[in-house]
């Protein structure tokens, strides 16, 4: 029997497994995919995550892996360019976002977990049910190549993303807090002469496009109205090429390389939160508990901080064999209010993006940002919130 069964081998699940393993806690991680070699969209490691890696003595090794660095984020409109978040103003050894393939980050964590004999990471294990006793969750059943297996555990953690199977099995529904939007992702080659150093959100006309530097390529996100995927697909890649050419002139010379809809991936965006993240013997973290909009790139950052909060509060009762639901409740209490505030801000920002699709220009937000950056005491606020959230979780010694 495991002390903890973590369902989902994403950043939150793998980091939680690592933090618990360091405390001598027996952990089983179940990952539905057969490996990490698949498409991920969240590839930014914020200063809070890099500082956690430093606390674990892993930052130097991690940053020796291929990555790029973004020292800030900008809004670019036909009228002006405005820095939204300048990470160089922060008091940290890591004043930037490290942009690294998520698969590479997860493989790095997996390699570190191999050092612990009391940790198992099982790929190709798709959870199909919860086991219970007297109303308490006591583990999961999962389908593997070897058939159905039982994984008994003192604590089951759902870290299996926005479409969480664990959340559904536990009857912990989401409350949606905005109609959301959808994003089409595709890649275009990067050239040495291209502008770099920022994550840029291009605003103007009917187009809203984000670019992230991945070294050899640009990851490009094109925002579309919620539920309009079929219409966008029918219009084909010609419409996407035209949007790039009209909105980002320096990228227009390679838009023609987007030739097939199979180069495009859909991210269905949702801002939602489960009112309750736990049952006796079960806890949700990350997108399983609170799907977050890609605005600000907060998803991985907030999920990892959930993992830190869980490790900080649950390690001692797990070691003592005294875990109770009140301990799980304390994790939600520490994190839910921050998530609620950040999601409320995302809803406001999302409505502004939707306004752009209607053809309006965001004069008021851009003016507000310019005023904010002229006030020395407030200039660091957007960067700090993006880098850390409202009250960052620090690893307890």
Candidates 272, 277, 265, 276; CA nearest to 293 is 272
Mean pLDDT value across the chain: 90
Across the chain, the runs of DSSP E, i.e. the strands, are 2-7, 27-31, 44-45, 68-70, 72-76, 81-86, 97-99, 119-123, 126-133, 136-144, 147-158, 175-176, 181-189, 198-204, 207-213, 217-225, 265-268, 272-273, 278-279, 282-284
> Dihedral of the CA atoms 355, 356, 360, 362 (nearest 10)?
90
- Identify the band that residue 290 occupies on the pLDDT scale cut at 50, 70 and 90: very high
To the nearest 10 degrees (0 to 180), the angle between helices 47-55 and 298-320 is 30
What is the reported pLDDT for 365? Answer: 46
pLDDT of residue 253 exceeding 90, the answer is yes
Q: What class has domain 2-46+59-66+101-177+271-356?
A: alpha beta
Q: Average pLDDT in the 92-117 region?
A: 96
Q: Give residue 367's pLDDT.
A: 45
Structure confidence at residue 379 as a pLDDT band (50, 70, 90):
low
Tokens of 64: 């020796």
Report the phi/psi class of residue 226: left, alpha or beta, with left for phi > 0 and alpha for psi in -120 to 50: beta
pLDDT grade for 41, boundaries at 50, 70 and 90 = low
């Amino acid at each position: 029997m495991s002390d903890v069964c973590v369902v989902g081998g994403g950043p939150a699940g793998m980091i939680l497994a690592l933090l618990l393993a360091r405390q001598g806690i027996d952990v089983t991680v179940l990952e539905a995919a057969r490996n990490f070699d698949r498409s991920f969209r969240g590839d930014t490691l914020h200063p809070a995550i890099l500082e956690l890696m430093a606390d674990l003595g892993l930052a130097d090794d991690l940053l020796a892996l291929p990555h790029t660095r973004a020292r800030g984020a900008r809004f670019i409109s036909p009228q002006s360019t405005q820095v939204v978040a300048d990470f160089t103003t922060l008091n940290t050894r890591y004043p930037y976002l490290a942009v690294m393939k998520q698969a590479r980050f997860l493989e790095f964590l997996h390699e570190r977990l191999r050092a612990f004999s009391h940790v198992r990471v099982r790929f190709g294990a798709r959870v199909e049910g919860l086991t219970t006793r007297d109303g308490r969750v006591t583990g999961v059943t999962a389908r593997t190549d070897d058939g159905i297996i039982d994984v008994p555990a003192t604590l089951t953690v759902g870290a299996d993303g926005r479409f969480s199977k664990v959340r559904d099995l536990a009857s912990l529904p989401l409350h949606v807090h905005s109609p959301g939007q959808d994003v089409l992702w595709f890649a275009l080659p990067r050239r040495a002469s291209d502008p770099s150093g920022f994550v840029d959100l291009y605003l103007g006309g009917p187009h809203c496009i984000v670019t992230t530097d991945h070294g050899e390529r640009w990851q490009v996100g094109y925002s579309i109205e919620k539920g309009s995927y079929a219409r966008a697909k029918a219009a084909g890649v010609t419409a996407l090429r035209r949007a790039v050419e009209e909105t980002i002139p320096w990228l227009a010379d390679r838009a023609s390389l987007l030739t097939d809809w199979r180069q495009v991936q859909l991210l269905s965006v949702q801002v939602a939160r489960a009112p309750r993240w736990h049952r006796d013997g079960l806890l949700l973290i990350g997108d399983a508990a609170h799907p977050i909009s890609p605005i600000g790139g907060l998803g991985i950052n907030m999920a990892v901080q959930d993992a830190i909060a869980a490790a900080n509060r649950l390690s001692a009762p797990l070691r003592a064999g005294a875990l109770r639901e009140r301990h799980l409740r304390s994790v939600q209490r520490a994190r839910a209010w921050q998530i609620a505030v950040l999601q409320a801000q995302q809803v406001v920002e999302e409505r502004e993006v939707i306004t752009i699709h209607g053809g309006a220009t965001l004069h008021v937000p851009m003016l507000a940002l310019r005023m904010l950056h002229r006030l020395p005491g407030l200039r660091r606020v957007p960067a700090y919130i993006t880098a850390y959230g409202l009250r960052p979780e620090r690893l307890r010694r």
